[in-house]
Amino acid sequence: MISLLEARGIGKRFGGLTALDDVSLTINRGEVYGLIGPNGAGKTTFFNVLTGAYTPDAGEFVFNGSALPTGQPHRVVAAGIARTFQNIRLFGKMTALENVMAGHHIRTRAGVWGILSQNRRTREEERLTTERAFALLAYVGIARFADTLCTKLSYGDQRRLEIARALAAEPQLLALDEPAAGMNATETGHLKTLIEQIRHDGVTVLLIEHDVKLVMGLCDRVAVLDFGRKIAEDVPAVVQQDPAVISAYLGGGGDAH
């Protein structure tokens, strides 16, 4: 197994609150890696530090063998990590297609000049971006809504659209922040199939999820955070039996579903 992402001693404090305390973990290329933990354990903070939304107070990320820039989200995307959001954050005034095209921004080059002169390279790039966006909409199963304003899509479809938008950045690591939140059983089933497909197509997946059943059924390995510290990391079957994990979920009053 080759590691794709290594978190080394990541720490993050907010005032007196330690949100992440010396968190180290390794995600291997090609796996689905789950990050679980009770509410407030620091999962989303970890996501935000990883994707550059926050600057870590300690530690570093090594991605593909080199240090990941911190605090500069667009450079993290350029390096090959794209994410979705726990609360849907689509560009509400754009169509589904445009949202996906916007996600492809970092992989395109055209400048003002090229756009105004509509030279061949720009037109070709725009055509490829459009084509790719259509393909991604089809990939997540919502091609028929390409020209629909994204806010008109159903909740489940908006979640799919976020995944398509993230994939448009051509990531090596796709980070999903509670993608099943608010989904019914059928939608969650479809989501599971989609994530399996994404892994099959060579994209590594980091999954934060509350739905333990989904995590256990989908992930190759799982890390458990509790009060900002990693308390376990192993294959799902082992983690499930770990006394520290059981006590974090049951004793901590967290909501294990």
Token couple for 91: 């560009």
List, in order, residues 6 or more apart from 85 with CB less than 8 Å away: 162, 177
Q: Tell me which of 1, 17, 67, 78 binds another protein, using CB under 8 A.
A: 78
- ∠ CA 219-82-236, rounded to 5°: 10
Among 34, 37, 42, 52, binds another protein (CB under 8 A): 52
| The one among 9, 17, 74, 119 contacting another protein by CB under 8 A | 74
Answer for which of 101, 183, 214, 222 binds another protein (CB under 8 A) is 101
Least Å from the CB of residue 67 to another protein: 19
Q: Which stretch binds another protein (CB under 8 A): 22-30, 61-69, 72-80, 136-144?
A: 72-80
Question: Closest CB to another protein among 3 and 148?
Answer: 148
> Taking CB under 8 A as the rule, does residue 112 contact another protein?
yes
- Angstrom distance (rounded) from CA 29 to CA 3: 6
Q: Which is nearer to another protein, 123 or 144 (CB)?
A: 123
**What does the alpha-carbon distance between residue 218 and residue 233 come to, in Å, rounded to a whole number?**
15
Could you tell me which of 222, 153, 210, 142 has the C-alpha nearest to residue 177? Answer: 210
Cα 21 to Cα 24, 26, 206: the distances in Å are 9, 16, 19
Among 44, 129, 158, 188, binds another protein (CB under 8 A): 129
Residue in the structure block whose two tokens are 């909501």: 255
Residues that bind another protein (CB under 8 A): 51-53, 73-74, 77-78, 82-83, 85, 89, 91-94, 98, 101-108, 110-112, 115-116, 118, 122, 125-126, 129, 165-166, 169
